């Protein structure tokens, strides 16, 4: 089943790819909007807003709750409340998808360097990886605050290429949303779309990744391991 022949490093999205973080994100959104006397959207709806970072996610939540575009002050207040509540729910509201830890361990054993490239606000990333027991597998972590432009811009992927000293064809990017696939395509790197994540309610295949997988452990045979 090997589809990729010269992979020397891998980079992963976080939310929806490695981690089912929607419950914690949804709880924080619900609490933030409730504090603003606005209706809480709940898990199913909030899951469709994940992927572009916290600012965009809260703009989507406010637009839904208000029935209009939020003002700048409303946006700032909502984001501050989200950060406050997400600090309380990020770990309890996040779990690894099946076979993630075992697959990362197998990749590490093979000597492949691994990176995280996420639009999640940077302060939440490292503590979450540690709490889930997977921090040790990654030698580079790029959060949403570490680049001037987030995915779907390829800036963060270019940082990974430089850090690991690999060519675009040697880095495999694994994600769950169109942001991930668009960023990988813009950087010229091979890419895999996971079907179980949070892709705004649309199938990841629409974004035409090089390969789609339904289970995380299918990653190993896909790269010939």
In the set 6, 13, 30, 180, the catalytic residue is 13
CA 91 from centre of chain: 15
Contact of 57 with 22, CB cutoff 8 Å: no
77 is an active site residue: no
Q: Which of 139, 54, 132 lies closest to 93 in space, CA to CA?
A: 132
**Separation between Cα atoms, residue 211 and residue 55, nearest integer Å:** 30
DSSP reduced 3-state for 10: strand
**Separation between Cα atoms, residue 10 and residue 72, nearest integer Å:** 38
Question: What does the DSSP 8-state code read for residue 211?
Answer: E
Query: Which positions ≥6 away from 71 have C-beta within 8 Å?
Result: none
Label the pairing between strands 191-194 and 114-117. unpaired
Q: Which of 117, 123, 44, 116 lies closest to 82 in space, CA to CA?
A: 123
Give the pair of three-digit tokens for residue 63: 């637009």
Write out the catalytic residue numbers: 13
């Amino acid at each position: 089943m090997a589809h990729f022949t010269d992979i020397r490093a891998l980079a992963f999205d976080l939310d929806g790819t490695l981690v089912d973080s929607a419950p914690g994100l949804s709880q924080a959104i619900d609490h933030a909007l409730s504090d603003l006397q606005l209706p809480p959207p709940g898990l199913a709806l909030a899951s469709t807003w994940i992927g572009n970072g916290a600012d965009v996610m809260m703009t989507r939540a406010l637009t839904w709750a208000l029935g209009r575009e939020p003002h700048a002050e409303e946006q700032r207040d909502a984001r501050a409340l989200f950060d406050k509540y997400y600090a309380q729910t990020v770990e309890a509201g996040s779990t690894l998808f099946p076979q993630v830890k075992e697959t990362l361990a197998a990749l590490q054993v093979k000597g492949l360097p691994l990176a995280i490239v996420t639009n999640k606000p940077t302060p939440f990333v490292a503590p979450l990886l540690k709490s889930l027991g997977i921090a040790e597998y990654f030698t580079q972590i790029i959060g949403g605050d570490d680049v001037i432009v987030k995915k779907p811009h390829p800036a963060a992927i270019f940082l990974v290429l430089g850090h690991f000293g690999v060519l675009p064809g040697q880095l495999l990017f694994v994600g769950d949303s169109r942001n991930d696939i668009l960023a990988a395509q813009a950087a010229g790197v091979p890419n895999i779309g996971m079907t179980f994540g949070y892709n705004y309610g649309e199938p990841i295949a629409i974004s035409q990744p090089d390969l789609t997988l339904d289970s995380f452990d299918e990653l190993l045979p896909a790269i010939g391991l």
